[in-house]
Structure 1
Amino acid sequence: MHDPARTRSRSYLTVPEIAAELGVGTTSTYKLLREKKIPSLRIGNAGKGSRGRFVIPRRLFEEWLKRQTEKALNESEGILA
């Protein structure tokens, strides 16, 4: 069962947690992770075609999300100008 208090205390996030935060499905999240568009670490057998586990450091994800948000805001300002 998902325990929000425990999730906040960890230094990493899981794929389902990232998907929920972004409002997308886990399939889309895995695609973004495989394409290295979201910062992550690969744990376990990470060779080509492997099924290693993705771990997303919370701090890196929060920084990435902030940059993406700022980028989107800057682009929308140019459209509105």
Structure 2
Amino acid sequence: MNDYDKQEALVCPEFLAMEHTIIDDFVSCTRESCAETETCVKALDRGAGHDFIHRLFRALHSLKGNCQMVGLTPFTEP
């Protein structure tokens, strides 16, 4: 698969057709989940405890749920 095909595979017309407020909320929640994920990974790299593992999984679960809510199923399938 070339780069163009990869980009085409990630285009989701249904997502792009959503109201801008929904997309803005999705982007905001995604940024929060990514920031929390980064915080947890860095903390775990420094030897942090199990609470950061739980926080990491919650952040990833939220990210997956948000993708499902807006129809971005390529990011939610195993």
Q: Structure 2-normalised TM-score?
A: 0.39
Q: Which has the higher contact order (CA 8 A, sep 6+)?
A: 2
Q: Structure 1-normalised TM-score?
A: 0.38
Higher helix share: 2
